[in-house]
A = this chain, B = another copy of it.
């Protein structure tokens, strides 16, 4: 395969940068490591029927009522008023979530997902360290252009989403044309960090690391930074994320 035959891979480090990329022929990978896309992977891997991502507590309550789903979301590290569960992937073991629908409030990730759809993304999937290999195998098999979309935090670039993008670039860089400084920066950062992702986050005083540690959520952070705990490939269609059974 010559260089020009390869599909292209780009990384958008923040939703505020997404408008710079043409995603109309791309698979967009939504990355929101702490903790939305980690929780989505856990819930679907443990048999949830689907996950419905919403961007507000009010919508979460409304949809939860309509479809008798599990409502989940946090504000300042606590379950948001009116919802039943939190944002931790550890809250969704098989014995609880199997066969159910999870309505998940997630601000940054849902915003990015809707932006990608509005820009005409061909396919939207979600990625986390927990399902890293599933994501990479899927993207390799599809052979289409890829945009790695970091959800960031209120549009501010964050380390953990960048690291995940870097992990994908590190695995797929040879199979894709990567003419994208953000992707190369993410890859370099990941190569620095991969031996100890948790330690890297701590040493860099990552803002989200501090926020969650302040809420006593070290176990969550460690879980979300662990590669390949689950084989699952969450794909988005008609408002829902479901596990693509042909992958994962």
Enumerate chain A interface residues (CB-CB to B < 8 A): 13-14, 16-17, 19-20, 154-159, 162, 178-182, 184-185, 188-189, 192, 204-208, 210
Contacts and interface: CB of A to CB of B under 8 A. Distances in A.
Contacts of A179: 205, 207, 210
Given A188-B189, A204-B184, A207-B179, A16 B16 contact: yes
Contact of A156 (B155, B181, B184): B181
The number of times this chain is found in the oligomer is 2
A66 to B, nearest CB: 35
A20 B156 contact: yes
Contacts of A182: 156-157
A78 B133 CA distance: 46
A219 to B, nearest CB: 22
Nearest to A209: B181
9 contacts: A16-B16, A16-B17, A16-B20, A156-B182, A178-B205, A179-B205, A179-B210, A184-B205, A185-B189
A20 B178 CA distance: 28
Interface centre among A178, A180, A184, A192 (most CB of B within 10 A): A184
A207 B181 contact: yes
Contacts of A210: 179
Given A179-B205, A206-B181, A207-B181, A155 B20 contact: yes
